[in-house]
Amino acid sequence: MITEETTVQDIVSVNPELAFIFERFNLYPACIEKNLKEVSSKYDIEPGFLIKILKSFEGTIHVQDEFRDVPIQAIMDFLSRTHDYYLGKKLPEIEQSFYHLYLQYKDTHPLLILLSNFFIAYKKELTKHIQREEEILFPYIQFLIKARCEGFKSNELIEVMKSYSISTFIAEHNDMENDLAEVRKVIVDYSPAYSITPFPYRIFLIQLQLFENDLRKHAQIEDEVLVPKALHLENELLSEAQGRQSLLDNLIIYS
Ligand SMILES: [Fe+2]
Ligand SMILES: [Fe+2]
């Protein structure tokens, strides 16, 4: 069981995939010997939030219930940090592995060029997917948070919601992890039998599998935590704005 006293090392030795969480916060491997309480105070992360994130990636909690009381801003910050981690670290690492594979086996495995095209296309799509969230969804949610905290003009809020809303995001949001599973399947089908699969190939496939698992959790937090919270906030603000508008309309009629 993960508590504030558990060290980063203990967590990663039980579940090596959780190193990805610490890497996002630049805590791994630098803080491997520290416990969660120590890393939290040193890096200004709420320890309870870090534990919830670790447990959600472990799959030992129901994310919607566990994050019910966590502010939407904290969820968005974590997802944004994850986007930076994917674009700045994970994708370049995977690309690097593929490049080594390509250099070593391009003559004996001519289909590697085809796989490289698959991977490049996937990377482009994932980058676009992340950019849409960073440049459209997150600023929109930021706008909702600001409206809630600082107040808003009903007509302006309704105008913004006419051009974009959480339902627009839901309609457009696709599963990048399933696309990666497809890419991985193509690569596995193409690979020689496991017993004779060259080592760099296996490393590359493991990297893809781990990244796919991480993406799946990321998407789950987006779909099951961020979106319901944003929808709730949006509905609350919209009904408030509409209530004010109809009050105003009635005042005009009766004046
Ligand atoms: Fe995302
Ligand atoms: Fe997404």
Model pLDDT for residues 4-49, shown as the tens digit of each residue: 999 999 999 999 999 999 999 999 998 999 999 999 988 788 999 9
Tell me what percent of the residues of the chain surpass a pLDDT of 70: 96
Which ligand is in closest contact with the Cα of 83?
A: 1
Closest CA to 161 of 46, 94, 238, 236: 238
| Å from CA of 83 to ligand 1 middle | 6
Q: Which ligand is nearest to the CA of 176?
A: 2
**Which DSSP state fits 137?**
I
CA 241 – ligand 2 centroid, Å: 29
Q: Read off the pTM.
A: 0.90
Are residues 130 and 122 in contact, defined by beta-carbon separation less than 8 angstroms? Answer: no
Residue 196 has pLDDT above 70, yes or no: no
Residue 159 — very low, low, confident or very high, per pLDDT cuts 50/70/90? very high
Asked whether the beta carbons of 190 and 111 are under 8 A apart, the reply is yes
252: CA distance to ligand 1 center in Å? Answer: 45
Q: How far is the CA of 155 from the centre of ligand 1 (A)?
A: 30
- Would you state the pLDDT for residue 115? 80
Which ligand is closest in space to the CA of residue 174?
A: 2
Distance from residue 219's CA to the centre of ligand 1 (Å): 6
Q: What is the mean pLDDT of the chain?
A: 90
Q: pLDDT grade, residue 98 (50/70/90)?
A: confident
Task: Answer yes or no: is pLDDT of 111 > 90.
Answer: no
